[in-house]
Structure 1
């Protein structure tokens, strides 16, 4: 409307004013058609959801759910997903948060387990956005219109050399220098971060509320049945990949033929990044309500991680994602200024809960004011440098009672969150944030996934480079972004706050 008003003022006259009204009417009609198309598509997809019946048993084969597809309606095209995102700024950002998680996970994995870099891009391996975009090779899993052909091609292609830690030289993964690629993934394929996020999304969609017990059942189905892994369309492989230590203990604690407790009851206060890396669905389900998002985020962390620090970190991340989706205005402030302001407000609110377990540590991270040379200097995510080389030396062989591994740096929840926040604040786009983040190496897929959630919520689905979205689409048929849209339009979730409507 602002641009149309300026036209009538500059040119004046009745004709230009009529033209402005005609353009506005046309735009309104197009927006209305787009919204109707979005509502119809989402209603069709929601009505056709068919989630599996899962029973925890004592003889899982690891693959029996690998081929299950919960979406039985015709798969959406790339263009249809773009129209869904274009129908609402908030849908665009919500889809960006979940698709961003998956995209960053897939980009980060070939760099995972490589010794952490002292600065982004200064390590043994790297991924270049520029080289990725300029790469002229053809993705063998996409046709000329970027539609997936994975199911018809994978049986003809060799499985990349990967198991046992060998480089997957045969994998289709452009843009990398010295990738490790432990699991031999092709571009767009994901690991545990995305698989568990999809399980969390499916539980919210099928239970229409947060249900910790149901989440744990679907997490079990992922690892022991192949549910929601990246290989539904890849006939060369089937078993899931990427199980971490904390989550492993949670999954193996469940008894056969019994409903698991909603929280993993275990001694210790393990606080890995595994509950942060998968979190976006909770925020999308509660878009418009930071309090409910934070409450369920804590509960979602306790399904696998007994530590209160991880739970409080999840509460902050969920609140941040909701506010990014609801409030960020690129014309009014930078992403850095917005994220810093949200962190300051959240830290101020945490002071009312001083003394509660996990609160002090998260508040320290948000304040971002650690001394140089300290073991948490990397928590200064607002600084130009995280000084990871100095931090590794300061921590020595162990940190907080755990081995200090250069190849797994970022796996502690606050370390991973700090890297993600820093990467968002040092860049001005989704693609740039992910490139900056994964090039710290270490636990690159997981701190990348955390960064992808934040950057996606700030910049939106359509801001993710089309080649990155296309690579994901080759394996997921658009179902990652589709889940985000369904979560945001759930009557039991965010209601009108997230319903597809006129652009904000």
Structure 2
């Protein structure tokens, strides 16, 4: 079967298809995503066989992905098992989104279906009356209304059971501060090693500054600045507002807003490109879908969304992915964001290392993760000795490098220096380690000389405190 699958994939690629939307559930059919080349896009969005999506938001998510791929000039192939029921439902809803009324969309869908050879054996699509009715009544759901979140938690009655128990503990503030300060410390420590090959520099053991952006000692760069901008947007908008985030990132890019030095230091080409595209297209989710673009810096700002939406772990993971999509939408990158967000949520909740490194299905859909990311969850990095950890590879390798150091660490200092001295993308790797280890060990475990040397330390602490207050707010479903 592998040879036949490879041949079929080759035929699709020759025909020009470079985006595959798979509506089947894991295990329903043999997997083929390993045959999809890195330059193509594979998206698994399961819908139950002979059925419709359980929630309108799931169909909306599928259509957003399809429309984004089409805007990028991709040829999209949508399929289920037989190509009749689930596929017809998705295409019918796409036609509604394109401007047709429900009944007209069904007419157009079946006109197109008549050109398919399979229509000789199955005259009308979608398959079931429920699927036809779903198309007929489909309306793209509006975004959820945003509600202001008070800075202090509301009083909890005796009869209520708060979804967030851990934030009431005395260690919550230490963990939240530790995670945000840990991010900035990791970012600042890596200034002297970023983009450099191991062996070409003396091992770093303290904050030095310098590096490719010639920053002063204690200065942090884009990794921390973008997390601060995202946190401010969440607070100012009382929730997730992609347009507001793009506008604030643009202000940081032009003015150095919320930076350590008043300048925009370290912005990557991919972030610049995404912000320019968002402005031109007036579409905030402008990150590339290209699997070859493994832009790792999205992992650096996960802390802001996980903290803000902490009261609901699954929502924290989902919103972290949404925030990443503004600058990158490659499936492998987004899955790494999902996994790291779940791990960070566990750390902020005060869990032990084993629970942090292996979050469960209560936080993320493990079976839907791409295979390389599932191997991370299974502990592939445990086989890596310090000398073989990589910060120069793709997003999976960088995440493994940070997790490998965290797993072996006995304190914050030892692990972060291990990551920093890997060179290459050490700023991102150290930022990832800093968020996780800072939450696990707490702010007081970060060397005081490093904490007190950070530029704009008051801004970092104020932001972490505000996020903690937001975490104590239970949001309605």
Q: Is the Cα contact below 8 Å between 2:451 and 2:457 reproduced in 1?
A: no
Q: CA deviation at 1:90?
A: 0.8
Largest Rg, 1 or 2 = 2
Q: CA deviation at 1:348?
A: 11
Q: Does residue 409 of the first structure (1) align with residue 392 of the second (2)? A: yes
Q: Is the Cα contact below 8 Å between 2:184 and 2:220 reproduced in 1?
A: yes
Structure 2: state its 5+ residue gaps.
1-166
Partner of residue 247, structure 1: 271
Q: Does residue 127 of the first structure (1) align with residue 169 of the second (2)? A: no
Partner of residue 110, structure 1: 192
Partner of residue 286, structure 2: 264
After superposition, the CA RMSD in angstroms is 2.7
**1:253 counterpart SS class:** helix
**Measured at CA, do residues 409 and 464 of structure 1 come closer, stay the same or move farther in structure 2, by a change above 3 Å?**
same
**2:375 counterpart SS class:** helix
Q: Is the Cα contact below 8 Å between 2:233 and 2:248 reproduced in 1?
A: yes
1:495 to 470, 473, 477: 473
**Measured at CA, do residues 464 and 265 of structure 1 come closer, stay the same or move farther in structure 2, by a change above 3 Å?**
closer
Partner of residue 324, structure 1: 347
Give a deviation string over 1:236-283, Cα, whole Å, max 9, x none: xxx311111221210222337x8x423115452322111101210111
Q: CA deviation at 1:107?
A: 0.4
Partner of residue 88, structure 1: 170
Partner of residue 384, structure 1: 385
Q: Is the Cα contact below 8 Å between 1:97 and 1:461 reproduced in 2?
A: yes
Partner of residue 101, structure 1: 183
- Separation in structure 1 between the aligned mates of residue 445 and residue 425 of structure 2, nearest angstrom: 25
Q: Does residue 277 of the first structure (1) align with residue 307 of the second (2)? A: no
- Separation in structure 2 between the aligned mates of residue 289 and residue 267 of structure 1, nearest angstrom: 27
**Measured at CA, do residues 348 and 477 of structure 1 come closer, stay the same or move farther in structure 2, by a change above 3 Å?**
closer
- Separation in structure 2 between the aligned mates of residue 123 and residue 426 of structure 1, nearest angstrom: 25
Q: CA deviation at 1:349?
A: 6.0
Give a deviation string over 1:222-246, Cα, whole Å, max 9, x none: 11121111114xxxxxx31111122
- Separation in structure 1 between the aligned mates of residue 290 and residue 338 of structure 2, nearest angstrom: 20
Structure 1: state its 5+ residue gaps.
1-84, 133-172, 233-238, 330-334, 370-379, 392-407, 498-504
**Measured at CA, do residues 250 and 459 of structure 1 come closer, stay the same or move farther in structure 2, by a change above 3 Å?**
same
- Separation in structure 2 between the aligned mates of residue 190 and residue 453 of structure 1, nearest angstrom: 14
Q: Is the Cα contact below 8 Å between 1:96 and 1:457 reproduced in 2?
A: yes
Q: Is the Cα contact below 8 Å between 1:283 and 1:318 reproduced in 2?
A: yes
**2:260 counterpart SS class:** coil
Q: Does residue 440 of the first structure (1) align with residue 464 of the second (2)? A: no
**Residue range with higher mean Cα deviation, 193-202 or 223-232:** 223-232
Give a deviation string over 1:56-114, Cα, whole Å, max 9, x none: xxxxxxxxxxxxxxxxxxxxxxxxxxxxx998311110111111101110001111011
Partner of residue 5, structure 1: none
Partner of residue 289, structure 1: 312
**Measured at CA, do residues 99 and 265 of structure 1 come closer, stay the same or move farther in structure 2, by a change above 3 Å?**
closer
1:426 to 404, 408, 413: 408
Q: Does residue 461 of the first structure (1) align with residue 452 of the second (2)? A: no
- Separation in structure 2 between the aligned mates of residue 207 and residue 328 of structure 1, nearest angstrom: 30
TM-score by length of 1: 0.57
Superposition pairs for residues 172-321 of structure 1, below 5 Å? 173-174=207-208, 181-232=211-262, 239-255=263-279, 260-264=282-286, 266=288, 268-269=290-291, 270-321=293-344
**2:344 counterpart SS class:** helix
Q: CA deviation at 1:305?
A: 0.4
- Separation in structure 1 between the aligned mates of residue 287 and residue 357 of structure 2, nearest angstrom: 35
**1:228 counterpart SS class:** coil
Superposition pairs for residues 20-35 of structure 1, below 5 Å? none
Give a deviation string over 1:117-160, Cα, whole Å, max 9, x none: 3xxxx6633212xxx4xxxxxxxxxxxxxxxxxxxxxxxxxxxx
Q: Is the Cα contact below 8 Å between 1:212 and 1:300 reproduced in 2?
A: yes
**1:229 counterpart SS class:** coil
Q: Does residue 362 of the first structure (1) align with residue 373 of the second (2)? A: yes
- Separation in structure 1 between the aligned mates of residue 190 and residue 444 of structure 2, nearest angstrom: 20
User: How many equivalent residue pairs?
Assistant: 308
Q: Is the Cα contact below 8 Å between 1:294 and 1:319 reproduced in 2?
A: yes
Partner of residue 78, structure 1: none
Higher relative contact order (CA 8 A, sep 6+): 1
TM-score by length of 2: 0.60
Q: Does residue 339 of the first structure (1) align with residue 356 of the second (2)? A: yes
Q: Is the Cα contact below 8 Å between 1:416 and 1:450 reproduced in 2?
A: no
- Separation in structure 1 between the aligned mates of residue 270 and residue 401 of structure 2, nearest angstrom: 20
Q: CA deviation at 1:339?
A: 3.4
**Measured at CA, do residues 208 and 362 of structure 1 come closer, stay the same or move farther in structure 2, by a change above 3 Å?**
same
